[in-house]
């Protein structure tokens, strides 16, 4: 996962969302609203609950008068929240039409290609070491390492992963590496997308340039 604190910080994000939701119990939203959440960066539980109560109180007092395209900016504990009616073109076709949804910012500081080994090598080394005991009993079989990425690397392309493992080679007993992502199938249910990203007879189609020559 990237950043390495993703799981811990994401738990805090959900704690804050729960605190906001608790403060809004009893409200029957007649439209679909969205609350854009700020990055917390390891706030304490006390601060999280304080923010949640303050944000919920502000929403309670002003949501009914909020107009479409209007954004309510809520400041609490040095953080800025943005609350608005979600535009119809941003809604899922099979999603809810009323209620409140939460949206979290992505990380814009993901390392460049040149930083792959430096930033991800510790995690990869642990994974490579963990496979040794199991793979040792399957010397003549096809040995596949399956990865389930989280955080900012969750939706990178197979070509992206192939470039990473080409630069940071796995042990020789790893025949292939596959990436699995648990995603929406577009019809309201979840499914696994599984792609081979390294080893075997893997090939990628050549990039077809656009009319202006851009690859």
Tens-place pLDDT, residues 76-120: 888 899 999 998 888 887 788 999 999 987 655 455 555 656 778
Q: What is the pLDDT of residue 104?
A: 83
Return the HEC string of 57-110.
HHHHHHHHHCCCCCCEEEEECCEEEEEEECCHHHCCCCCCCCEEEEECCCCCCC
Beta bridge partners of 195: 179
Distance CA(175)–CA(92), nearest Å, equals 40
Distance CA(37)–CA(13), nearest Å, equals 8
Q: What is the pLDDT of residue 26?
A: 92
Q: How confident is the model at residue 152 (pLDDT cuts 50, 70, 90)?
A: confident
Q: How confident is the model at residue 32 (pLDDT cuts 50, 70, 90)?
A: very high
Q: Domain residues of the chain, as ranges?
A: 6-103, 115-199
Tens-place pLDDT, residues 158-207: 988 998 898 888 999 999 999 998 776 666 677 888 999 999 888 887 76
The neighbour count for residue 157, using CB atoms within 10 Å, is 12
Q: What is the pLDDT of residue 62?
A: 94
Q: What is the pLDDT of residue 67?
A: 93
Q: How confident is the model at residue 139 (pLDDT cuts 50, 70, 90)?
A: confident
- Measured in residues, the chain has a length of 215
Q: Is the pLDDT of residue 70 over 70?
A: yes
């Amino acid at each position: 996962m990237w950043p390495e604190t993703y799981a811990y910080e994401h738990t805090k994000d959900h704690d804050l969302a729960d605190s906001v939701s608790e403060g809004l119990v009893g409200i029957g939203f007649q439209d679909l609203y969205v609350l854009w959440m700020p990055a917390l960066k390891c706030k304490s539980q006390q601060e999280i609950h304080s923010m949640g109560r303050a944000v919920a109180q502000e929403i309670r007092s002003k949501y009914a008068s909020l107009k479409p395209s209007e954004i309510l900016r809520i400041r609490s504990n040095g953080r800025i929240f943005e609350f608005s009616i979600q535009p119809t073109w941003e809604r899922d076709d099979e999603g809810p039409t009323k209620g409140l949804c939460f949206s979290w910012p992505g990380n814009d500081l993901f390392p460049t290609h040149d930083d792959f080994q430096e930033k991800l090598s510790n995690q990869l080394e642990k994974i490579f070491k963990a496979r040794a005991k199991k793979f040792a009993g399957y010397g003549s079989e096809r040995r596949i390492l399956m990865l389930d990425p989280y955080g900012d690397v969750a939706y990178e392309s197979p070509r992206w992963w192939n470039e990473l493992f080409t630069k940071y080679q796995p042990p020789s007993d790893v025949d292939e590496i596959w990436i699995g992502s648990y995603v929406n199938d577009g019809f309201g249910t979840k499914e696994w997308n599984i792609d081979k990203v390294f080893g075997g007879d893997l090939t990628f189609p050549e990039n077809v340039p656009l009319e202006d020559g851009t690859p």
